[in-house]
Chain A
Amino acid sequence: MAEAPLLELRGITKRFPGVLANDDVSFDLARGEVHALLGENGAGKSTLMNILYGLYTPDEGRILLDGKPIDLGSTKAAIEQGIGMVHQHFMLIPVMTVAENIVLATEPRRAGVLLDYDAARNRVRELSERYGLAVDPDARIDRITVGQQQRVEILKALYRGAEILILDEPTAVLTPQEAKELFEIIRSLESQGKSIIFISHKLNEVLEIADRVTVLRRGVVVDTISAEGATEEGLARMMVGREVLLRVDKKEAQLGGPLLQVDHVSVVDDRGLETVRDVTFDVHAGEIVGLAGVDANGQSELIDAIAGLRHVASGRILVEGHEITNVSARDALEAGVGHIPEDRHRRGLVLPFSLTENLALHGYRYQPNSKSGFLSLRKMGERARRLLQEFDVRGGDSQTRAASLSGGNQQKCVIARELSTNPKVLIAAQPTRGLDVGAIEFVHRRLVEQRDSGRAVFLVSLELEEILSLSDRILVIYEGRIVGEFPPTATEEELGFAMTGGRREAA
């Protein structure tokens, strides 16, 4: 960097009881630069950014803006210094319009008390044109897509005069298409002189968008490197601290008979719309079948039907030749269907329950977890401790509440429970969503293990890369129909073409 950095964090240390969240962290940001902050969950990325945004005060260290030390005691102070943050979970008011949300707290007024809505709308329109962030100022927040909500958050920061934008895991909530659009927005902001701190744990994204990358591990800066010439493998090693297998290593599939048969199944969703249409496929013992598709093309309803959580409108579902069409969730479980649900918070875990209780969520009725209606807490606990050890769940013991674990460890818990029942058929719905590299490797390895031990694995994912690297066969779903079957050697382009119904993508 020839010129002095715009922003500099020097020797930041932040302690929380029992945790050293940031240990002597230094970080700098040049004007017009995208600087990525990379690290696993719990590496200290969010703490560092919350310090920069004035939410916490560091125990040690200094923050310099344009070479001058600044004191950020509050978010208000940070905003005044031109620092804006877009949180992972948006801070928008759903029933208000885009323009109202953006001008909130600094609204243009008429007669001192009334909101000058026209002025607000004009300001918003002006900003959105200038930075290429297309949004309708009059649309209500709860009526627009997540990608658009994110743009509103960015506009809100710009409206408040942000020169430095902190984007906290911005792609976590976006579809691949929306992510692409976000990257274009970031490039446009960059070209207009804004500086961006991009927090992520997705390696490919970081390499695509960032100029420089700083890797944090357990609160310490591992290194700051130029994105040019860096590789995913190298970054992963820096993040995790050991070699990580990004490619899944698997043997030739040893196919057995069909374990899961889905025969002309149609499913109707809660609104009465037919979302799964006449779907037929088999999954054999010893293979992983991947279902690729854009979100909300019937995947969830299809999974629910197989898992006994939703009735089919027509068709049959068989597990190892036994019909399980329209049985209860419990009967589906007993027939041998294991199910890693797509939303671990909503469905996979009872968050206020202890890990012991969560691990017994299916098996609480049977020995050794209970006997004639009474829970055997000691045996439940023993079983839980064994599973936690076997699946390397960290961050708590068997009495810890599921809510206090990190996402990766929560997912390990869900997987431990689902695999512990030795299912014949395993449905894995977005099994690595929100997980970091180390945890993804773990999950993938477990899925391949299941396949190799002769089970049928049905993998549903929105990540094409995951589908391609794990599956032995790939099905593509579009508007509730299976529109194609591909070998694992298919390219992302071929799949993407089928996923959008055979039409070329607009972008």
Chain B
Amino acid sequence: MSGDDDRRELAKSQDEVPQPPTPGTVPTPQSHFASRFAGLKGAIGPILTTIIAFFAGGLVVLVTGKNPFKVYNAVFNGTGINWFFHVGHHSARIPFSTHKMWFPWDTASIAAGNLQQTLLLTTAIVLTGLAVAFAFRCGMFNIGGQGQYLVGSYFAVWLGTSFVHLNPWIHVTITVVAGALAGAALAGIAGILKATVGAHEVISTIMLNWIAVWVGEYLFGEQGPLQGPQPSVPISNSIADGAKLPVFWGLALLQGLSIGIFIALAMLVVYWIIINRTTLGFEVRAVGFNPEAARYGGISVARNYFLAMAIAGGFAGLAGALDIAGWEYNIGQNDIPVNQIGFIGIAAALLGRNTAVGVGFASLLFAALINGTSGRQLDPSIFRPDLAGNLTTIIQGLVILFVGLNLGGLWMTFRRRRHKGRIDEAGIPQAPALPDAEREGL
């Protein structure tokens, strides 16, 4: 056990060593080191995944005879993220006031408008992503984010178009909260079914999605209860001004950015706290990893299945309500079956490894991709906008495919293969159940 090489190796693989020399109550410097970077190690897989997906997407562009670098550059400019790179001397209005102040970026540029769109999408994807992530931590796969998002938006429209003379603060609050509760109720059905009769949540949430879609078709269709004033136009009324979220950047008429993004970011923090710092999160994770051990530990597995699904649905329902209260303001019948935001949330949760930080970044990635490839943003001479949307789908599909492959895990396995003996000796189960980051919940 000598030589510098060995010592360097030791630092890298502390967690696999069966019998380190210290009878381990004091954390060794090596294990400190390892644990500090456990989260980064977990990011290897998603980053590799993204790079390969973009590379494959570039090949597809090449096949169509276009220059992938130009296309990606145009997509990038369409996302509005380039806004951050144009620093200068500008003045900006301080939100919710008439005062102006010096600001390094131009808040009224085209890039700024693009960025607002990207962040609006990010808001919804973060929350539908959390809806998948939270259930996953309890060992369940919530495919029902789409349905939960829809019922959230229905309730937001319903309450937003009612009580027109209510105090705006109260009105917007009940609109948003009701949306979240509606999503929680819908997902809770799947949770109860799993907890009581063992119905698999994948099946029940998919069926609930269709229920949500068809209820919406009825509600907002011609002569439907929430349909607007023109009998032949299947679109709801717009919600009252008091039920709208304040727009702090851009113009509300042009789909400016509402404070919904801050609510979504706050929910990432809430998610992290619940999972890592509360007894509820402890129970949820215990049930997710090993329901039998949780039961033995005195934890009610059924209760946690229900609660985890309800909380997950609450996130998705909130997404629907924030979209209505933040920029959509109404629902058209035709929009209901084409909306995909709940499913993009699945991709974001998978890529983000169900961690708060991961879901945040993955949501930004998908939102940027969708916005950057939308027909409105892309110059037709660089790439056909109708194909560009498919590029998004391709990259999204590849990401999910590679996440299924677990590139990070594969990479670690290849590294580990050379040192396999140690693992056998210590009697450690060979397949790591989840990557480190998933456990750390960063």
Listed in ascending order, the chain A residues whose CB lies under 8 Å from chain B are 14-21, 41-42, 44, 46-47, 50, 55-56, 307, 309, 328-330, 333, 339, 341, 345-353, 357, 360-362, 364-365, 370, 373-375, 377, 385, 388-389, 392-401, 403-407
Contact = CB atoms under 8 A, between A and B. Distances in A.
A44 B425 contact: yes
A240 B231 CA distance: 87
B289 A352 contact: yes
Given A20-B1, A339-B296, A397-B25, A373 B280 contact: yes
B293 A349 contact: yes
Contacts of A50: 421, 424
A439 to B, nearest CB: 12
A202 B419 CA distance: 27
A43 to B, nearest CB: 8
Nearest to B436: A401
B282 A375 contact: yes
A374 B24 contact: no
A407 B427 contact: yes
A371 to B, nearest CB: 10
Interface residues of B, number: 56
B67 interface: no
B241 interface: no
Interface in B7-34: 9-10, 12-20, 23-28, 31
Contacts of A385: 25
B410 to A, nearest CB: 19
B294 interface: yes
Most A C-beta atoms less than 10 A away, residue of B14, B26, B289, B298: B298
B334 interface: no
Given A20-B1, A50-B421, A373-B279, 15 more contacts: A16-B422, A17-B10, A17-B422, A18-B1, A345-B429, A352-B433, A353-B289, A357-B286, A364-B282, A364-B283, A388-B24, A394-B23, A398-B25, A403-B432, A404-B16
A60 B259 CA distance: 66
B292 A347 contact: yes
A392 B25 CA distance: 9
Contacts of B353: none
28 contacts: A15-B1, A16-B422, A17-B9, A18-B10, A19-B422, A42-B18, A50-B421, A55-B421, A56-B420, A328-B298, A346-B292, A347-B293, A347-B296, A348-B293, A352-B439, A364-B283, A370-B278, A373-B278, A388-B24, A389-B25, A393-B24, A395-B19, A395-B20, A398-B25, A400-B31, A403-B429, A404-B16, A404-B428
Nearest to A361: B297
Contacts of A396: 15, 20, 24, 31
A279 to B, nearest CB: 21
B425 A42 contact: yes
B412 to A, nearest CB: 14
B295 A329 contact: yes
B434 A352 contact: yes
B424 A329 contact: no
B277 interface: yes
B12 A17 contact: yes
Interface of B: 1, 6, 9-10, 12-20, 23-28, 31, 35, 276-283, 285-286, 289-290, 292-300, 419-422, 424-429, 432-434, 439
Contact of A406 (B1, B276, B289, B426): B426
A410 to B, nearest CB: 9
A442 to B, nearest CB: 13
A4 B387 CA distance: 75
Interface of B is mostly: helix
B296 A341 contact: yes
Contacts of A397: 24-28, 31
A346 B292 CA distance: 7
A347 B15 CA distance: 23
Nearest to B12: A17
A346 B35 CA distance: 26
Contacts of B27: 397-399
Contacts of B280: 373
A18 B20 contact: yes
A46 B31 contact: no
Nearest to B286: A350
B276 to A, nearest CB: 8
A397 B279 CA distance: 22
B279 A370 contact: yes
B419 A16 contact: yes
A329 B295 CA distance: 7
B292 A333 contact: no
A18 B24 contact: no
Contact of A364 (B31, B279, B425): B279
B425 A346 contact: no
Nearest to B421: A47
A46 B25 CA distance: 28
Contacts of A398: 25, 27
B35 A399 contact: yes
Contacts of A401: 15, 439
A365 B279 contact: yes
A47 B425 contact: yes
Contact of A47 (B16, B23, B31, B424): B424
B15 A19 contact: no
B264 to A, nearest CB: 23
A281 to B, nearest CB: 23
A399 B422 contact: no
Nearest to A388: B25
A17 B13 contact: yes
B17 A19 contact: yes
B295 to A, nearest CB: 6
A121 to B, nearest CB: 33
Contacts of B15: 396, 400-401, 404
